[in-house]
Amino acid sequence: MAQQVFKRPESLKDNVFHYCPGCGHSIIHRLLAEVIDELGIREKTVGVPPAGCAVLAYNYLDVDMGEAPHGRAIAVATGIKRCRPDLVVFTYQGDGDLAAIGTAETVHAANRGECLTVIFVNNGVYGMTGGQMAPTTLPGQKTTTTPGGRMALRDGHPLDLSRMLALAAGSVYIERTAVTSPKHIIKTKKAIRKAFKVQMDGQGFALVEILSACPTNWKETPIEACKRVEQVVATQYPLGILKDATHEPTADNP
Amino acid sequence: MNKQLMRGSHVIAEAATRAGCRFYAGYPITPQNELPEYMSARFADLPDATFIQAESELAAINMVMGASMTGVRAMTSSSSPGISLKQEGISYMAGMELPAVVANIMRGGPGLGNIAPTQQDYFQATRGGGHGGYRTIVLAPCSGQELVTLTMKAFDLADTYRMPVILLGDGLMGQMMEPVSFPDPIDPADLPKKEWVLSGARGRDSRLIASLQLDPVKMEERNWKLVRKYDTISQHETDFESYLLDDAQLVIVAFGTAARIAKGAVNRVRGEGLPAGLFRPITLWPFPANPLRSLAASIKQILVFEMNTGQMIEDVKMSVGDISPVHFHGRPGGVIPTPVEVAEVITGLMR
Amino acid sequence: MKKGFIKIDSQRCKGCGLCVSVCPKGRIRIAEALNLKGYHPAEFQEDEMDKKGRCNACTLCALICPDVAIEVFRE
């Protein structure tokens, strides 16, 4: 009798993803659903999706979800979590959402130590709107608004917001991972799981930045795009733990 | 009931707390800073209440949005430039049908303007204010005691109709001290249960609160559904005050602080034997168009008096059409006219 | 040696080819036929066509599949 060793997580709805071939978003959706299943928190989780390609994340994740304006997901999540600290609240945001239009909300939530789990998907472009330059776009990278490539002196430098957030006193756990190979995907899942646990233990602000490919807007095949993340993007945004101030909960310091 | 002397901003904060409000997020801006200050102290004593001084007005209104998603009575307050920033969130909440109370203690504009009391945000408040063609209920208090009743009513209306409600005051309303009395506080646990909130999908399907609707046909349906709700509100929630209208030949139409000044002017010209009266819209949206139209048939002329360059006058003219001539007297910029000045305008029109 | 097999939902698959790139046994290929959405989906090659070794249910293909189109079974 064959035993099934890999199946669809229960917290993932049966809908077919609307994402392009090779898109990292749907891998991350699946990992989130797996973590929610494994932690047994589906019935007390609330998600806040972003504007952008993942705006329809609620078509896939079978948990309560509430929309936020572009960039404001963490502010909305703050309102939810402060009113219902017993819920597990996460945001799901792209680089434009979190590191451009939502920079203020992100920095201040981290600084206040809001007890939230933030999933930050960095693919270096605005995907939904057609591949414009993002704050994370690499120097020289061609986008639809940097047709000759991003020039730092004209268009700004790539912004490593996660590193800035690690400086905020209220942030507890920040890790950068990728979803470009099975090895990295396993690491990403572990990081997401930890970011949820940090919140569930009431420790504070946890964020996982996930380097992800956007083959369509990069005009590469999915395999080329994944290679590019590992060989090029990850040199600008090195993978690994940027901050881990977590502690084992004790009676004195829960 | 005991009366206490309180500043308008404090009255709003206390009334909100007594209405069961348990979430406040705001950002400092003059002339309403006493409101968040009072709230921060008041909520510190309530274990189930959250006060956040947000990093911006944008963050504040979006925090209120999140709080509202959980079913908690939530509010924010600001003054004109800050309210402009909050329009993003107000539009989203209109689209998501989320209740919230937003107090706008108006100041001079456009732009940074000044910090003096005006009524220059009438258009913004009564026309929705943000994008997408929505409405918010707009309540215009004109006394300390009315700040109590209208603040509390704002929360009820917001919950009943699931939409943002604007409490439209001005710098004078916010700063002025008057004796007020409060009803007993409402325990949030006694408020009607909201069946639509985000609470975790325990024993039910997962829930979504969103304004996004990519299908134009479904979006159109939602737009018309909102209009039907707005029609219901127009039919049932319009409110106004009549003052000495029975024999009036000239009716002055004014709201909020301007209405207080107008009342003084009416008293003054009555002393000289001139039959003037006051029609004071309490709900600016929905505007009390029908009662004003009925009134117009029995009077000789209307004077609209606003602390702006003429905004409500458009609603007055739409209400009365050609039935009655409509005059205007306005003082924008934060100038506070006296009853004597307004009485002179009335006298000039009636003599 | 562990034996396994995978099932690919050819209608969910968008033919991105990531599973093909990670299969240590080279057992997955892109089909010539189109699915209803117009993609060439990935397909699992049956035993008799393969000389590189049997599927051992390592799940790498399913781990990287962006469309959760692959189920993995161990015998």
Over residues B198-230, the pLDDT tens digits come to 999 999 999 999 999 999 999 999 999 999 999
Given a cut of 80, whether residue B316 has pLDDT beyond it is yes
Mean pLDDT, to the nearest integer, of B272-284?
98
Chain C residue with the nearest C-alpha to that of A181: C64
Residue A55, in any domain of the structure: yes
Interface residue C30 vs chain A (CB under 8 A): no
The pLDDT value given to residue B102: 98
Tell me, yes or no, if B62 comes closer than 8 A to chain A by beta carbon. yes
DSSP 8-class letter at B324: S
**By CB neighbour count within 10 A (0-12 exposed, 13-18 middle, 19+ buried), where does B214 fall?**
exposed
Domain boundaries, position A115: 24-244
**Average pLDDT in the A51-69 region?**
96
CA-CA distance, B312 to B284, in Å (whole number)? 8
All structural domains of chain B: 4-200+225-236 (3.40.50.970), 241-350 (3.40.50.920)
pLDDT beyond 90 at A27: yes
Task: Please indicate if any CB of chain A lies within 8 Å of the CB of B20.
Answer: no
Rounded-to-integer distance, Cα B287 and Cα B13, Å: 26
Distance in Å, alpha carbon of C67 to nearest chain A alpha carbon? 6
Say which CATH number the domain at A123 has: 3.40.50.970
To the nearest 10 degrees (0 to 180), the angle between helices B339-350 and B256-271 is: 60
- The total domain count for chain A is 1
Residue A17 lies in a domain: no
Residue C51 — pLDDT band, cuts 50, 70, 90?
low
- What is the model's pLDDT at position B103? 98
pLDDT reported for residue C52: 66
- Residue C18: alpha-carbon gap to chain centroid: 10
Is 70 exceeded by the pLDDT of residue B1?
Answer: no
Measured between beta carbons, the chain C residues lying within 8 angstroms of A16 are: 11-12, 67
pLDDT at C1 (0 to 100): 56
Domain enclosing residue C13, as ranges = 4-74
What residues of chain C lie within 8 A of the CB of A181, using their CB? 22, 64
- Res B169: pLDDT: 97
- Residue A254: inside a domain, yes or no? no
CA dihedral B9, B14, B18, B19 (to 10 degrees): 10
CATH code of the domain covering residue C18: 3.30.70.20
Of A61, A66, A87, the CB nearest to B200: A87
> What is the mean pLDDT of the segment spanning B322-329?
97
Residue A10, pLDDT score: 97
> Nearest by CB to A185, which of C5, C63, C70?
C63
Instruction: Give the gap in angstroms from C-alpha B63 to the nearest C-alpha of chain A.
Output: 4
Q: Give contacts of B 287-346 with A, CB under 8 A.
A: none
Is A16 near chain C, with CB under 8 Å?
yes
pLDDT tens, position by position, B97-133:
999 999 999 999 999 999 999 999 999 999 999 999 9
- For residue A10, tell me if it sits in a domain: no
Mind listing the pLDDT tens digit for each residue in B158-183? 999 999 999 999 999 999 999 999 99
User: Which pLDDT value is given to residue C46?
Assistant: 73
Q: Does any domain span residue A128?
A: yes
Work out the minimum CA distance from C66 to partner chain A, whole angstroms: 5
Instruction: Check if A196 contacts B (Cβ < 8 Å).
Output: no
For chain C, the domain total comes to 1
How far does A101 lie from chain B, in Å, by closest CA? 11
Q: Where are the alpha helices (DSSP H) in chain A?
A: 24-39, 73-83, 95-96, 103-112, 152-155, 161-167, 182-200, 215-218, 222-228, 234-236
Neighbouring-strand partners of residue B75:
B24, B101
Q: Is B93 touching A (CB cutoff 8 A)?
A: no
For residue A138, being part of any structural domain is answered with yes
Tell me the per-residue pLDDT of B25-72, one tens digit each, with 9 for 90 and over: 999 999 999 999 999 999 999 999 999 999 999 999 999 999 999 999
Q: Does residue A251 lie within any of the structural domains?
A: no
Instruction: Choose the mutation target among A6, A19, A27 for the interface with C, i.e. most C CBs under 10 Å.
Output: A6
